[in-house]
Amino acid sequence: MAKALFYIEGEKVQHIGCRLIVTRELIHAGFTKGGSFNLPDGRVEVVLEGDEEDIRAIHENVRKNLVNWLERSFGDKEILKRQIGNPRPYITVTDLEFNERLLVLDIGLFSHSLTFDQIYKGVDVYEELVKAIRGLGTEELARAIRSLNATLESEQKKRSKQS
């Protein structure tokens, strides 16, 4: 088993969902040890343990898809841009650093964050629905319903994979 780390860097990479998204992807890729952490200097550190080939594959997947995953989680590219600016040139994933001395904890210690993330998303969708119903307009209502549908479909797919 190999141990490695990499960093997600940029002006604003914390508090936008990077840790949750990366942890979710680690779990979906079958990792049982690893996690992501906010660092005091503003970066997000990702540590993982597993087969070297799997580590390289998930690293490349994160490098290639992180911004797309963030845009999808926000549901609207413009909301993400308003929060952090244009993410493409500002969010980077560093090269892998293999280090057998790393302490890599069980990923289950961090998976609870994913549950809370789903609760927060549900609250956000509900808030959008309430605002739209109170007269903000049919466009907002339609966007909230699409977002709710996407969330429900995603959860249904997860449950069917677990069965």
- Is the pLDDT at 111 greater than 60? The verdict is no
Domain check: are 129 and 51 in the same one? no
115 and 68 both lie in a single domain: no
Residue 49: name the closest of 31, 62, 37 by CA. Answer: 31
| pLDDT: which is higher, 161 or 21 | 21
Question: Does residue 123 surpass a pLDDT of 60?
Answer: no
Q: Specify the pLDDT at position 62.
A: 95
**Residue 122 pLDDT class (50, 70, 90 cuts):** low
Which domain CATH number covers 69?
Answer: 3.30.70.100
Contact 114, 32 (CB under 8 A): no
85 and 121, same domain (yes or no): no
Same-domain status, 102 and 117: no
Last residue of a domain, one of 84, 106, 128: 106
Task: Give the pTM.
Answer: 0.65
Exposure string of 137-162, with b = 16+ CB inside 10 Å and e = fewer, is eeebbebbeebbeebeeeeeeeeeee
42: domain range? 1-106
Residue 125 pLDDT exceeds 70: no
The reported pLDDT for the residue numbered 101 is: 93
When mean pLDDT is compared across 41-50, 64-73, 79-88, 91-100, the lowest value belongs to: 79-88
Residues 163 and 90 in one domain: no
What residues have CB less than 8 Å from 121, skipping those under 6 apart? 151
Percent of the chain with pLDDT over 90: 27
Total domain count for the chain?
Answer: 2
Statement to judge: residues 130 and 151 lie in one domain: yes
Residue 94 sits in the same domain as residue 123: no
pLDDT reported for residue 87:
59
pLDDT band at 74 (very low <50, low <70, confident <90, very high): confident
- Please name every residue paired with 36 in a beta bridge, in sequence order, or none if there are none: 46
The Cα 59–Cα 82 span in angstroms is 27
| Residue 85, pLDDT score | 64
93 and 127 within one domain: no
